[in-house]
Chains A and B, each alone.
Chain A
């Protein structure tokens, strides 16, 4: 942004301010070293992480914390694998103790085939977490009614899917995403479903505050190059949104003057 002589633009969630509008996951990589390289190339300041039992049979296996370091990235612990509010609270209390902060990502899934969020349980879980002092960024369906309910229940950010987790299908429902953006007073992030850079740009052009992705980078043939592509796509999309696109017209409008023709 500096080369455009613009002040760096920031966004805030739960009182924390960030410059990068890309949040990246840390799953599905070949190894933690590639994961760390991709995270760096993406310019992300926040990475999502999961909480799991330590491996007691091999305590010397590589650890995420040694590669994707907490002095470089803000960890956003998730509740992947939780199906109830109580499980989510239990998992994130452990995460808070392991990481020492309360900014978390809530995801309560239902059907294993679609990994679609269980919104009724998600809303109930959110209320439990807010009561427990967490700042909760909520993975949700692209339903404007539930988005409003989540915000009313104290969500720190609303994170509707573009398409099912890991599907790479791109933005399936730009209309509802835009409605959610227009009505929310908290940050809105597209979380899940982005497959390539143009789709990340599209999410930002819809007015989203940021994009969260994992598989689009991790499962690219060259994850590090894709991470970089996503970084620029998010920046480009944000700039295009702020610049305001030209109106769509049915007919042509010449770019060269008609007057003075020889």
Chain B
């Protein structure tokens, strides 16, 4: 359930981000990626098991209970 944070009035939602529970205030995916200090051009995002195309980050809402995976490329064989 969403509620209003007393501090800044932003809507706070509880999500599961990369397997960890988090409370975030970003209303869309673009803002969330920015808040996390990540570069949106270097990651890929899955929301509730669906791939989120990069072009739709600003329009992708973050809702209570969303399960997000944010991944990138690392070294591997």
Query: Which chain A residues have a beta carbon within 8 Å of chain B's beta carbons?
Result: 25-29, 32, 35, 48-54, 56, 59-60, 63-65, 68, 75, 77-78, 80, 90, 93-99, 165-166, 192, 214-215
A-chain residues with CB within 8 Å of residue B53 when the two chains form the complex: 97
Residue ID in chain A nearest B69 by CB atoms: A53
B9: interface (CB < 8 Å): no
Q: Which 8 pairs across A and B sit closest by C-beta, in order of nearness?
A: A50-B76, A25-B77, A214-B77, A98-B44, A59-B37, A26-B75, A97-B44, A49-B73
Instruction: Provide 12 A-B residue pairs closer than 8 Å at the C-beta atoms, listed in order of the A residue.
Output: A25-B77, A50-B75, A50-B76, A52-B74, A56-B36, A59-B38, A64-B72, A75-B73, A97-B51, A98-B44, A98-B71, A215-B77
- Report which residue of A27, A35, A90, A94 has the largest number of chain B beta carbons within 10 angstroms of its beta carbon: A94
- Report which residue of B18, B74, B76 has the largest number of chain A beta carbons within 10 angstroms of its beta carbon: B76
CB–CB A93/B51 < 8 A = yes
A-chain residues with CB within 8 Å of residue B11 when the two chains form the complex: none
A-chain residues with CB within 8 Å of residue B74 when the two chains form the complex: 26, 49-52, 64
Task: Give the contacts of B5-62 with A (CB-CB under 8 A).
Answer: 17-20, 36-38, 42-46, 49, 51-54
A-chain residues with CB within 8 Å of residue B4 when the two chains form the complex: none
Say which residue of A29, A54, A90 sits within 8 Å of B38 (CB atoms): A54
Residue ID in chain A nearest B72 by CB atoms: A54
- Contact A52 to B72, CB < 8 A, known contacts A25-B77, A95-B44: yes
CB–CB B44/A78 < 8 A = no
CB–CB A95/B38 < 8 A = no
Not counting A32-B75, A52-B72, A78-B77, a sample of 8 additional A-B residue pairs whose C-beta atoms are within 8 angstroms of each other reads A25-B75, A26-B74, A50-B75, A50-B77, A53-B18, A56-B36, A95-B44, A98-B42
Within the complex, the shortest CB–CB distance from B67 to chain A, in Å, comes to 12
CB–CB A94/B77 < 8 A = no
CB–CB A94/B76 < 8 A = no
CB–CB B44/A27 < 8 A = no
CB–CB B76/A26 < 8 A = yes
CA distance A56 to B45 in the complex (A): 14
B-chain residues with CB within 8 Å of residue A48 when the two chains form the complex: 76-77
B-chain residues with CB within 8 Å of residue A214 when the two chains form the complex: 77
Within the complex, the shortest CB–CB distance from B64 to chain A, in Å, comes to 19
CB–CB A53/B19 < 8 A = yes
B-chain residues with CB within 8 Å of residue A29 when the two chains form the complex: 75
